[in-house]
């Protein structure tokens, strides 16, 4: 059986979480033949992963290099005025049913791209003219944001680059598995339209949310962002609607998927997994109470909260230590400097150790009595499930899939709340029997739910069913992320009911 795996800017040209995940899946299922379809920037990227035997081929689709098309003449097919106008309309339309029209347009653009030169058509003066007309017709905003000629040119150019996959021959496979939503669904949709191949959309972070969060850094004016992000929103929504199965790596992500039109019955959460052989049970605990943290030193990890919290821990438990394992990304060391200054300001320099990068991350978990994670944003953090596999209980912030990972084997507190964080750390550090009980539970939970074999088994099952043309077996419906928080008992005391709020410090 042949699986086509589609990636965008990750495997096999880059390292990182998604690439690790792709490699794990392909290596874990040597019985399948894999064809990689990698969306890359210029085509000058090099393959940095050793590809397993089961990878039969790698097709690169360049989004920013010289345009595809070449000998095929756009003239023969004529300029697709109606199609381009409908594309623009469906992107600028914010009503939910616009996604259906967007889907039809994509399919027709695909037909056009297979016989004519779509890139030439979209970068032509006529396309720019259609966009300026569409903008003029419906621009509802103040003079200040009126689009310029430059905006129209730039926006059409971005759309042209995004749609380049449509000009490539569709991939032929029994199942097309897209590693992230977004542009990667285009090759999958093409295979579906041409050969009827079922598609799976996996998601680690929510593609669209990440694009939105990144958008302030884009060098474009607002009208361009409106069109570009509108295009990506419709494309993501189309990906969710067309996928036979959506496999987020945590339940939390379902909220966005359903919001964008995903059919809840098609969503199957497949948690990331770790290899237990790499994270054996820790033997013993450090002699002094120690909080350990491991990760990339980056503002998203909100180390300030951890440091403030540790300041309070230090007051109550002067012998306690905080060990931080990890380094900042190159060129972004200023955050580490800020954190070090904060340590000095809090007067906890004696008790805080910056350990730097560690090759064997499991030693970081072994070094702590408990493991902390104070991030303001996470998908399904490997550091937690690795720590749990090593037999460590965690204190973590309630973001992304953290509650799903930790369950009731650790303490989860609201993000950005040093007081709550400190309290949870003190509870665990001060109660040996509780800590040991939770640590054992954490390891058991990780071995039950978050092993790599578990993840591979679920994909194996999904592949077989989809390739055989069966719908996935009915499983008890997974609760939405909203339900995750419904179970809070209503009869909590007033101060407890407030717990989930990122509100006033508990003084």
Among positions 73-132, residues that touch another protein (CB under 8 A) are 94, 123-125, 127-129, 132
Q: Which residues contact 262 (CB under 8 A, 6 or more apart)?
A: 240, 241, 243, 246, 254
Q: Which residue's CB is nearer to another protein, number 105 or number 422?
A: 422
Contact between 312 and another protein by CB under 8 A: the answer reads yes
Q: Smallest distance, Å, CB 36 to another protein? A: 13
Q: Which of 316, 333, 337, 453 binds another protein (CB under 8 A)?
A: 316
- DSSP code of 66? S
Q: Which of 376, 458, 464, 472 binds another protein (CB under 8 A)?
A: 376
Contact between 315 and another protein by CB under 8 A: the answer reads yes
Distance between CA atoms of residues 131 and 155, nearest Å: 9
Token digits for 129?
């003219």
If you write DSSP's letter for every residue of 324-372 in order, what string do you get? EE--PPTT-THHHHHHHHHHHHHT-TTTEEEEE--SSTHHHHHT-SEEE
Q: Which of 359, 490, 491, 495 binds another protein (CB under 8 A)?
A: 495
Contact between 493 and another protein by CB under 8 A: the answer reads yes
- DSSP code of 303? H
Q: Which residue's CB is nearer to another protein, number 356 or number 432?
A: 432
Which candidate, 175, 171, 33, 267, places its Cα nearest to that of 469? Answer: 175
Contact between 268 and another protein by CB under 8 A: the answer reads no
Residues facing residue 177 across a β-bridge: 5, 200
If you write DSSP's letter for every residue of 124-168 in order, what string do you get? SHHHHHHHHHHHHHH--S-GGGPPPHHHHHHHHHHHHHHTGGGGS
Contact between 457 and another protein by CB under 8 A: the answer reads no
Q: Smallest distance, Å, CB 473 to another protein? A: 16
Distance between CA atoms of residues 133 and 46, nearest Å: 42
Q: Smallest distance, Å, CB 193 to another protein? A: 27
Q: Which residue's CB is nearer to another protein, number 43 or number 280?
A: 43
Letters for 49-78 (x = contact with another protein by CB under 8 A, - = none) are: xxx-------------xx---x--------
Q: Which of 103, 182, 198, 230 binds another protein (CB under 8 A)?
A: 230
Q: Which of 9, 116, 239, 415 binds another protein (CB under 8 A)?
A: 415
Contact between 197 and another protein by CB under 8 A: the answer reads no
Contact between 390 and another protein by CB under 8 A: the answer reads no
Token digits for 325?
């394992």
Q: Smallest distance, Å, CB 492 to another protein? A: 8
If you write DSSP's letter for every residue of 224-246 in order, what string do you get? HHHHHHHHHHHHHHHHHHH-SEE
Distance between CA atoms of residues 243 and 153, nearest Å: 32
Q: Which residue's CB is nearer to another protein, number 125 or number 356?
A: 125
Strands 290-294 and 33-40: unpaired
Q: Considering only residues 463-482, where is the footprint of another protein by CB under 8 A?
A: 478-479, 481-482
Distance between CA atoms of residues 339 and 335, nearest Å: 6
Q: Which of 99, 226, 292, 369 binds another protein (CB under 8 A)?
A: 226
Contact between 154 and another protein by CB under 8 A: the answer reads yes
Letters for 273-302 (x = contact with another protein by CB under 8 A, - = none) are: ------------------------------
Q: Smallest distance, Å, CB 443 to another protein? A: 10
Q: Total number of residues binding another protein (CB under 8 A)? A: 121
Strands 394-397 and 321-325: unpaired
Q: Which of 31, 76, 95, 219 binds another protein (CB under 8 A)?
A: 219
Q: Smallest distance, Å, CB 158 to another protein? A: 10
Q: Which of 30, 81, 97, 218 binds another protein (CB under 8 A)?
A: 218
Contact between 149 and another protein by CB under 8 A: the answer reads yes
SS3 state of residue 78: coil
Of 101-109, 324-332, 360-368, 418-426, which segment contacts another protein by CB under 8 A? Answer: 418-426
Q: Which residue's CB is nearer to another protein, number 195 or number 222?
A: 222
Letters for 156-185 (x = contact with another protein by CB under 8 A, - = none) are: xx----------------------------
Distance between CA atoms of residues 242 and 285, nearest Å: 50
Distance between CA atoms of residues 243 and 229, nearest Å: 21
Residue 225: C-alpha distances to residues 41, 127, 138 (Å): 20, 18, 16
Q: Smallest distance, Å, CB 196 to another protein? A: 31
3-state secondary structure 423-491: HHHHHHHHCHHHHHHHHHHHHHHHHHHCEHHHHHHHHHHHHHHHHCCCCCCCCCCCCCHHHHCCCCCCC
Q: Which residue's CB is nearer to another protein, number 21 or number 256?
A: 256
User: Using CA atoms in the order 232, 205, 220, 122, what is the torsion angle rounded to 10 degrees?
Assistant: -30
Q: Which residue's CB is nearer to another protein, number 328 or number 407?
A: 407
Q: Smallest distance, Å, CB 279 to another protein? A: 18
SS3 state of residue 57: strand
């Amino acid at each position: 059986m042949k699986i086509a795996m589609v990636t965008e800017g990750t495997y096999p040209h880059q390292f990182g979480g998604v690439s690790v995940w792709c490699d794990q899946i392909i290596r874990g299922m040597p019985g399948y033949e894999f064809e990689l379809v990698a969306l890359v920037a210029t085509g000058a990227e090099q393959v940095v992963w050793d590809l397993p035997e089961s990878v039969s081929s790698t097709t690169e689709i360049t989004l920013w290099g010289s345009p595809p098309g070449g000998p095929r003449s756009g003239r023969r097919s004529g300029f697709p005025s109606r199609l381009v106008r409908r594309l623009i309309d469906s992107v600028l339309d914010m009503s939910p049913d616009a996604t259906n029209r967007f889907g039809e347009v994509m399919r027709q653009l695909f037909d056009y791209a297979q016989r004519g030169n779509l890139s030439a058509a979209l970068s032509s003066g006529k396309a720019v003219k259609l966009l300026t007309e569409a903008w003029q017709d419906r621009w509802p905003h103040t003079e200040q944001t009126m689009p310029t000629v430059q905006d129209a040119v730039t926006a059409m150019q971005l759309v042209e680059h995004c749609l380049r996959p449509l000009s490539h021959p569709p991939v032929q496979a029994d199942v097309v598995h897209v590693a992230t939503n977004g542009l990667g669904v285009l090759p999958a949709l093409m295979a579906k339209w041409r050969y009827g191949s079922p598609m799976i959309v996996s998601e680690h972070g929510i593609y669209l949310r990440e694009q939105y969060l990144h958008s302030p850094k884009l060098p474009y004016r607002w009208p361009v962002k409106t069109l570009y992000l509108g295009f990506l929103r419709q494309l993501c929504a189309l990906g969710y609607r067309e996928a036979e199965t959506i496999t987020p790596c945590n339940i939390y992500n379902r909220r966005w998927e359903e919001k964008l039109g995903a059919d809840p019955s098609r969503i199957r959460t497949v948690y990331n997994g770790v290899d237990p052989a790499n994270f054996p049970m820790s033997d013993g605990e450090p002699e002094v109470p120690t909080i350990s943290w491991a990760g990339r030193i980056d503002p998203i990890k909100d180390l300030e909260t951890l440091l403030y919290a540790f300041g309070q821990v230090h007051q109550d438990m002067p012998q306690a230590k905080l060990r931080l394992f990890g380094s900042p990304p190159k060129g972004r060391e200023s955050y580490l400097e800020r954190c070090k200054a904060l340590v000095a300001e809090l007067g906890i320099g004696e008790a805080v150790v910056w350990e730097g990068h560690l090759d064997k991350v499991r030693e970081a978990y072994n070094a702590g009595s408990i493991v902390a994670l104070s991030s303001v944003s996470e998908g399904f953090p490997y550091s937690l499930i690795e720590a749990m596999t090593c037999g460590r209980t965690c204190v973590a912030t309630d973001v992304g899939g953290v509650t799903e990972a930790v369950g009731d084997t650790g303490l989860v507190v609201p993000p950005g709340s040093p007081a709550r964080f400190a309290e949870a750390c003190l509870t665990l550090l001060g109660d040996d029997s509780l800590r040991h009980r939770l640590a054992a539970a954490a390891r058991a939970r990780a071995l039950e739910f978050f092993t790599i074999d578990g993840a591979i088994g679920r994909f194996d099952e999904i592949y077989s069913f989809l390739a055989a043309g069966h719908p996935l077996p009915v499983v008890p419906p997974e609760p939405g992320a909203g339900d995750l928080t419904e179970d809070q008992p209503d009869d909590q005391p007033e101060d407890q009911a407030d717990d989930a709020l990122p509100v006033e410090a508990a003084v």
